[in-house]
Amino acid sequence: MSKLEQILILEPSNDLRFRGPFTDVVTTNLKLRNPSDRRVCFKVKTTAPRRYCVRPNSGIIDPGATVTISVMLQPFDYDPNEKSKHKFMVQTIFAPSSVSDLEAMVSSQ
């Protein structure tokens, strides 16, 4: 199976870094840029949904626009062995021209 072409440009492109102390919520940002000439729907998923709060976790990005996503790591007792085990995925699809609201598109399916 061939690799699908990436629609959005992510910054940072590979790793989200959180700087402690981890006794309080720690926030880092992920920028999603749409270099295409079409609107793009996105949804952010994680392998550890109880550990992170992602806002906004879904939406529509206009052509040429950038959205900043806040990823908030919830307080926890630091375990160095847990480093790099959590993963994030940004799912994308080109928005149908008739859709202006992501929720409306999802509920109509």
54-64 CB burial, b ≥16 within 10 A, e <16: beebbbbbeee
Residue with tokens 């720690």: 26
pLDDT tens digits for the chain (109 residues)?
A: 455 678 999 999 999 999 989 899 999 999 999 999 999 999 999 999 999 999 999 999 999 999 999 999 999 887 777 666 889 999 999 999 877 666 555 555 5
pTM: 0.84
For residue 46, the cross-strand partners are: 88
Q: Are 35 and 11 in contact (CB under 8 A)?
A: no
Can you list the domains of the chain with their CATH numbers?
9-101 (2.60.40.10)
